[in-house]
Structure 1
Amino acid sequence: MAFISRFRTQILSWWQDTPLPAGTTATFQSWHEFDEVNNRWCAAETARETTASADDRDRQEEKATDSPSYHLVTWNVDYSSPLPGQRLSAILSHTLSLSPAVDIIFLQELSREAFLVLLDEPDVRRGWFLSDANGGVLPAGQSFTTITLLSKARFQSPPGPVWRVKYPSRFQRDALCCDVFVPSAAVPDRRGAVARARLRLVNVHLDSLPIQPSLWPQQVSTVAALLRSAGRGVVAGDFNPVLPADDTLVRDNGLADAWVELRSGDDPGFTWGVDGKEPFPPTRMDKVAVVGLRVQDVEILSPGHIQCRTDRVGELDGDEMVAWSDHSGLKCSFKLGSEAVVPL
């Protein structure tokens, strides 16, 4: 059985030109972009790791020189609170207004209603690739899903491969993975081409609740192996660290925690429970961790509020303020390290 699993992984890696750890269960899918002519989202082609042609050289050199950093926002958008579509619109509006401009967006807990709003957002239609575009269908038995967005202004068209990896989960969750190929040097080689480096991006929503035995060690280990097999990359999302042992899982798996790397010990970096409304103490639920990258900055994006019209039985109509999410978002800036990590 182990031999069959290794063989399957080798075939997938070769066919998709995507390095994968042995035993990985990967389901490849398509990127999607909006077709203005036909007014619909459609599948985009997938790029492979190459060098930029001479015709691309000037554009790639400019990107490598003028904008060497990549900017990622991750946000658990909370599927269960009222007005999921309006809350998502507020989160997107805030995210797209940030400076410097965001290149990568990871969303977790995207409900069907919020998903449909995402697909209708004019700015998203104009400027972003989506990992999924069938908002009417969520994974079997799920009330929400994860979605990755890539900026068309920043990444080559089409992007690299995108796929999901199943790992042990009590909630049938997975890791949403993709590779992008970015300029690794501003100076072209003698063939007149700019080399591209593989950058792996992994969007996660790890299992919830303090259930024993914990499956977080296996989930984080799976993600770390995925990053190391690519040589460099970032994992971000809702890590749900609710057990004492979870505090060291990132470090124990050879990943660098962006918050720990850059922020002092006096700033706990709480992204959940800070409003005092939860029955549990505040915690740093959401994290960004890297391999083979240099983290330049990481900051918390506090949610705003929208008005929710209420009509309670026996009471007059009134206005209630609803937070965009019960989570804060995270924005992280990074660039390629001087060397990629050698896979173990």
Structure 2
Amino acid sequence: MLTSRLFLSLAAHQRSTTSLTHRFPFVSWNIDAFSQRPVARANVLLNHILDGPHPPPDIIFLQEVRATVRAGWLVKGAEDLTAWDGVPFATITLLSKARFASSDLDSQKELEGEGKFMLGPTTRVPLPSKYGRDGLSVDIIPPSPSTTPGTGTHFRLINVHLDSLWHTFPNRAQQLKILASLLREPGCAGGVIAGDFNAISPADDGLVEENGLVDAWVALHGHGQGQGHGHGKDGEGDGATWGVGVERERHDGLGPGRLDKVAMTMNGVKAEEMEVLRPGNIEVPRPGEESVHVPWSDHCGLRYACSDWNLLFDPRGP
């Protein structure tokens, strides 16, 4: 397994006080590796996440990150490019220094901020995949871990980009089964799997529940008409994160869809709020011609918040 530590310094965005409540705002976004100006688009998108209308999140999951894009960000412990070996893009997880502390701190001074979660192992979990996809798993350890026998000692955050297109549904089913099992390993009190699930078919919609997980959007907003598979005018209102606002007809028959999801364990973590973040546009200059504008990404992002992070249960059941 490939192991690395992915850590973003958000010191400039720290809140004036450190909250001891275990509530974490997340953002997950597939930032689109293949459209024009990937570095500029990614920078604008990340600035919007950090400096936009909402308070900056504590946890950011990004998918389709190109190596050239990663090089422009302040990321600690991910200097090597092995995550991009043989693949055009990878996932990256960014964690706020305001809420998390690294276990390999350089100085005692950085230990200030009692009440922070500590970072445990970070692992890229290989998956059966046509495209070389994996699950980026990060363990987080509460400031006061439980010592009760049979309860967990840490939570797990898993950033995913499941296989694409219709013919890889068997891969997606197996991938989510493997990742869900990671949330039930001994010592793990549960957690979150989030990112691009590539849920393009009705068969995909049952995978979260079949693996004993909770679909955060459904828990908060209900199923909605058609689960966002091409139903409705532009996908708004049913949680669609892809194909939203696209007016042209597609040859593959795909309409707006809820491709991006957040799946949680039934205990230990509670969804509080969730919304779809629509991308803005960036200008693309064309020499001798009028500039064009392209979206930051072909996906919308997801902003959500989870609370509780309760260690006092055994997620494996009786």
Question: Which TM-score tier does this pair reach, normalised by the shorter chain?
Answer: 0.7 to 0.9
Paired residues for 1:261-280 under 5 Å = 261-266=219-224, 267-276=237-246, 277=248, 279=250, 280=254
Report SS of the residue matched to 2:88: coil
Partner residue of 1:332 out of 304, 307, 313: 304
1:239 aligns with 2:211: no
Partner residue of 1:139 out of 84, 101, 125: 84
Instruction: Please tell me whether Structure 1 or Structure 2 has the larger radius of gyration of its CA atoms.
Output: 1
Report SS of the residue matched to 1:85: helix
Contact 2:136 2:159 in 1 (8 A): yes
Over 3 Å counting, the alpha-carbon distance change for 1:130 and 1:199 in structure 2 is farther
Q: 2:286: which partner in 1?
A: 310
Aligned residue type for 2:79? A
Report SS of the residue matched to 1:90: helix
Partner residue of 1:75 out of 29, 34, 59: 29
Paired residues for 1:1-344 under 5 Å = 26-31=1-6, 63-64=19-20, 67-98=21-52, 99-118=54-73, 125=74, 130=76, 132-134=78-80, 138-158=83-103, 159-183=119-143, 197-211=153-167, 214-229=170-185, 230-266=188-224, 267-276=237-246, 277=248, 279=250, 280-291=254-265, 292=267, 293-311=269-287, 316-338=288-310, 339-343=312-316
Report SS of the residue matched to 1:134: coil
In 2, Cα distance between equivalents of 1:298 and 1:213: 26
Contact 1:75 1:108 in 2 (8 A): yes
Q: 1:11: which partner in 2?
A: none
Return the offset for 1:101: 2.8
Return the offset for 1:199: 1.6
In 2, Cα distance between equivalents of 1:213 and 1:262: 26
Return the offset for 1:33: 6.9
Residue-by-residue CA offset, 1:253-312 (whole Å, 9 max, x unaligned)? 01111100001344310000012247221100100111130110111111001111024x
Aligned residue type for 1:203? N
Return the offset for 1:244: 2.3
Over 3 Å counting, the alpha-carbon distance change for 1:249 and 1:131 in structure 2 is farther
Return the offset for 1:323: 0.5
In 2, Cα distance between equivalents of 1:130 and 1:254: 34
In 2, Cα distance between equivalents of 1:131 and 1:178: 13
Contact 1:163 1:178 in 2 (8 A): yes
Contact 2:8 2:96 in 1 (8 A): no
Among the aligned pairs, what percent are the same residue? 38
- What is the aligned length? 270
Return the offset for 1:241: 1.1
Over 3 Å counting, the alpha-carbon distance change for 1:223 and 1:197 in structure 2 is same
Gaps of 5+ in 1: 1-25, 35-60, 119-124, 190-195
Aligned residue type for 1:321? H
Q: 1:45: which partner in 2?
A: none
Aligned residue type for 1:258? A
Over 3 Å counting, the alpha-carbon distance change for 1:202 and 1:340 in structure 2 is farther
Residue-by-residue CA offset, 1:207-264 (whole Å, 9 max, x unaligned)? 0011156211110101110112212110100000123211100011011111000013
More off after superposition, 207-216 vs 283-292: 207-216
Query: Which structure has more helix as a fraction of its residues?
Result: 1
In 1, Cα distance between equivalents of 2:282 and 2:204: 33
Aligned residue type for 1:139? W
Q: CA RMSD in A?
A: 2.6
Report SS of the residue matched to 1:109: strand
Contact 1:202 1:234 in 2 (8 A): yes
